[in-house]
Structure 1
Amino acid sequence: MDPQQRQTLINVYRDGLLRDTIPFWCKHGIDRKHGGFFTSLNRDGTIIDTDKGVWQQGRATWLFGELYNNVERREEWLQHAIRGAEFLTQHCYDPVDGRMWFHVTQDGRPIRKRRYAYSECFAAIAYGELALATGENHYRERAIQAFNGFVNHNLNSEEVTSKFTVTRPTRGMGFPMMTIATAQELRQSIGLPDADRWIDRSVATIREFHLKADIQCVMETVGVDGQILDHFDGRTLNPGHAIEGAWFIMWEGHLRGDTSLIETGCQMLRWMWQRGWDQQHGGILYFVDVYGLPVQEYWHDMKFWWPQNESILATLLAYLLTGEDEYAQWHQQIHDWAYSHFPDREHGEWFGYLHRDGSLSSEIKGNLWKGPFHLPRMQYMAWRWLEKDLV
């Protein structure tokens, strides 16, 4: 990657963020009546459902706070973040048990709560950025409260009615992986106490239970002792998720100057790139089977936007931290494939859902799952990493 190539990528990521992605969401996604964000948008940005996913309220609030703190202190961005946080605080908590909803109406009336607690980790990083932006301690307190709610819910799951019986207990990679990312963000924004301890614990869990060197694989779901469960759920791999976790660990290695963490993250990337990259059509597949058997989920071979975003970041970071040409080649592969298929040249932003061959499955720009997060985070971080010259 020579200086000209590096500058070209900087321009693509920076300009895509500031001239395309953020303007799209500022124009179409801001609820100026009730606060918070609309994310269920048609191709041209028109609203097709006014309900709000709580994940996306936290993620969008974090994004605008992050931009305000680290790109430019635009009052517009700060106000979007403040109104997002107000919506979270006023409408997204169940007053009975203190947990957060997953799905609410436009004006914040609750519709659904999930058994897992990921709404809390996105709220935590949102409050953390506002604590940094405003210096107001109540945001810091809410960030810590939300983080504690997230980890306590997962560590004390016996208090929650599970949808599974005790017949086949499992452990998933989602909790330790998201604990790493959330603690990293809160360490930076509010100096979260014990952030390093939570990260160390989570990395150790992933290494012990989810990394399988004998078959060169990152398992998404395993038995409680780390054993592979020879059933659909146990055999199903999520390459994009594992690759996202890989760059979280690489990034921690960079921050600490710990080469063992960098190597663990690179190892995860190598294993799951080989399993997830579609040799026939290009792009990262959504699900694959650990033994190459058919996968149960019907969308297994689709190309969703976010695994491509996370693979762009992971391959780029691996290259910047190691200088190994293989990672630069993979980055070019995934960058070129994603940018030739996902961006909407007419209306802006990215489509979210493609068929395996890269043809468009849906024109939707957002829903309860897709909002202003994976794409703008990828654009922002890739731009900054390239500018900083991390090696």
Structure 2
Amino acid sequence: MEIPSLHDPQQLAAFYRDALLQDVVPFWLRHGLDHEQGGILTSLDRAGAVIDTDKSIWFQGRAAWMFATLYNHVEPRATWLSAAQSCLDFLERHAVGDDGKLYFSVTREGRPLRMRRYVYSESFAAIAAAALFRATGSERARASALRYWQNYLRYSFDPALAAPKTDPQTRPMRGIGPLMIAMVTAQELRLNLGEVVALGRTPTEWIAWCVDEIERYFMKPERQVLLETVGIQGEVLDHFDGRLLNPGHAIECAWFLLLESSIVHSPRMEQLGLQILDWMLARGWDHEFGGLYYFRDLDDKPIQEYWHDMKFWWPHCEAIIATLLAWRLTGSERYATLHQQVHDWSFRHFPDPEQGEWFGYLHRDGTVSTTLKGNLWKGPFHLPRMLLWSWKLLDTEPTSLLALSSLPPRRPD
């Protein structure tokens, strides 16, 4: 497979566009949609056959957002809108618990299976409903988006509702995940609903608060690292959880910051995003086999998780967006080189040229660990989001996708 580069941005944009519209999206429309019960089935084998019918509520929201976003920003295709509506309708019929919290997984028919302590299902439902409001003008979708967003905020940041991972009397901790997801959810709601107020703050105000929290507690310039978990005052915890680094997660956070810097014209946010990207690419890149490690240890001690040196699809998707956005904002040849590095490795190892889409899980050396194309965690989100973003970042035509038209011209290196 010929892999284009940033030396020809138009050719590279076409590469991403074609991978999105001719490979990845058709794969999920053909194999994943549940035409009997509604929603999407994501546990697929290499050829797209369904191998488990339990449904991830994460992915009812994620898929609904993805298809609605394609409808809003690429082309108003009826098939995309129908798929988005089916996923959100299934979620709203079957995923809401007695307390308003969403389940993590249900049966194919919608009977509840698992409720988890965190509330990321709510964040994905919020962005799905917001994108569908943009597509349809439905006031019901708008109300749903606000309801899920408020529930996400409450269950993430209200100490009386947020379920801690460990006993807070024994080891009080903070995690970066809820802040990151609040940022990107707020960006989506602002795009599609405007500056709506939830729990006393607009989306832009929530984002500014999240950025302050991330910088204050999780960024460690003296160690050149972004931590996943810290003590309640931001202290480094010398335990497995406290030392654990997730390069892909941190790089995803970096591009959320870079995006926001371009929208609100904040040099500070841009610098924070670039710092995190630089630090975590350096920490995460495997210089022997290439690709991004899944986990690293702050002090290079042995890591508890046995999959720590595997190569997962989603960190590479986030790194492709982050390096491309960094190049788009700065014009630096260094970010063009980093983008080419992660892009080349990813497209040489993850795609399945015979059956389509990407393998999700590779061994450290880049060989395929499992031929699964999807499960409760992998579906039409990280990969198509990356392809859409990368295409639009390089496209010469103006786009409204997350206010990219407001990006300033690239600065010379």
Taking structure 1 as the reference length, the TM-score comes to 0.98
Could you tell me how far apart the structure 1 residues matched to 2:240 and 2:162 are? 24
Alignment of 1:105-144 (within 5 A): 105-144=107-146
| CA distance in structure 1 between the aligned counterparts of 2:54 and 2:30, rounded to whole angstroms | 18
1:10-57 C-alpha deviation (Å, 9 max, x unpaired): 011100000000000000000001110010000000000011000011
The alpha carbon displacement at 1:325 in A equals 1.1
For 1:340, the equivalent position in structure 2 comes to 348
1:78 to 51, 58, 81: 81
Q: Find the counterpart in structure 2 of residue 149 from structure 1.
A: 151
Compute the displacement of 1:85 (Å): 1.1
- Residues 210 and 48 of structure 1: is their aligned pair in 2 closer, same or farther, counting only changes over 3 Å? same
- 1:14 is the counterpart of 2:32: no
Structure-1 residue corresponding to 2:94 = 91
For 1:284, give the aligned amino acid: L
Could you tell me how far 1:3 is from its partner in structure 2?
7.3
Give the whole-Å Cα distance in 2 for the aligned partners of 1:281 and 1:6: 27
SS at match of 2:160: helix
Distance in 2, matches of 1:3 and 1:49, equals 40
46-55 vs 164-173, which deviates more? 164-173
> How many angstroms apart in 2 are the aligned matches of 1:37 and 1:192?
31
The 1:8/1:191 distance shift into structure 2, 3 A limit, reads same
Q: Which whole-Å CA distance do the structure 1 matches of 2:271 and 2:165 have between them?
A: 36
Native 8 Å contact 1:183 1:192 kept in 2: no
Q: 1:32/1:113 Cα in 2 relative to 1: closer, same or farther (>3 Å)? A: same
Q: What are the superposed Cα offsets for residues 338-388 of structure 1, whole Å, 9 maximum, x if unpaired? A: 000000000000000000000110000000000000000000001001115
Within-5 A mapping of 1:110-259: 110-159=112-161, 162-166=164-168, 167-193=170-196, 194-259=202-267
Within 2, Cα distance between the matches of 1:271 and 1:388? 31
What is aligned with 2:369? 361
Task: State the distance in 2 between where 1:2 and 1:122 align.
Answer: 32
Contact kept, 8 Å, 2:41 with 2:54, in 1: the verdict is: yes
| Equivalent position of 2:103 in the other structure | 101
**Is 1:54 matched up with 2:57?**
yes
Structure-1 separation of matches of 2:41 and 2:106: 11
**Does 2:327 match 1:324?**
no
In percent, how many aligned pairs have the same letter?
A: 50
Q: What is the DSSP-based 3-state SS (H/G/I as helix, E as strand, rest coil) of the residue aligned with 1:98? A: coil
Q: Deviations over 1:97-118 (max 9, x none)?
A: 0100000000110000000000
Distance 1:268 1:161, change over 3 A: closer
Q: Does the 8 Å contact 1:144/1:192 carry over to 2? A: no
Aligned partner letter, 1:207: E
CA contact (8 A) 1:316 1:328 kept: yes
Superposed CA RMSD: 1.3
User: Deviation of residue 216 (structure 1)?
Assistant: 0.6
CA distance in 2, matches of 1:329, 1:59: 31
Aligned residue-pair number? 390
Equivalent position SS for 2:290? coil
Give the TM-score of the pair, scaled to structure 2. 0.93
Matched AA of 2:275: Q
- C-alpha separation in 2, matches of 1:40 and 1:192: 37
Structure 1's 90 and 2: CA in aligned 2 closer, same or farther, altered over 3 A?
A: closer
Q: How far off its partner does 1:159 sit?
A: 3.1
Contact 2:156 2:162 in 1 (8 A): no
For 2:47 and 2:101, the matched residues in 1 are separated by: 35
Counterpart among 296, 311, 314 of residue 306 in structure 1: 314
Read off the aligned partner of 1:89 and give its amino acid letter.
E
* CA distance in 2 between partners of 1:213 and 1:350 (Å): 35
Change (3 A) 1:33 1:218: same
The separation in 1 between residues aligned to 2:264 and 2:236, in whole angstroms, is 32
Distance 2:342 2:178 in 1: 27
**Offset of 1:8 from its aligned partner?**
2.0
How many angstroms apart in 2 are the aligned matches of 1:161 and 1:274?
A: 33
Distance 1:129 1:160 in 2: 27
Flag structure 1 segments of 5+ consecutive residues without an equivalent: none
Q: Write the letter of the residue equivalent to 1:204.
A: D
Offset from partner CA, 1:40-97 (integer Å, 9 cap, x none) = 0000000000110000110000001000011000011111111111101100101x20
Q: Is the 8 A contact 2:248 2:318 kept in 1?
A: yes
SS in 1 for 2:39: coil
How far apart in 1 are the matches of 2:275 and 2:12?
Answer: 25
Secondary structure of 1:171's counterpart equals strand
Q: Which residue of the partner structure matches residue 400 of structure 2?
A: none
CA drift of 1:201 comes to 0.3
Superposed displacement of residue 169, structure 1: 1.0
1:228-254 CA-to-partner distances (Å, cap 9, x unmatched) read: 000111000000000000000000001
Deviations 1:259-292 (CA, angstroms, capped at 9, x unpaired): 2111110000000010001111111110000111
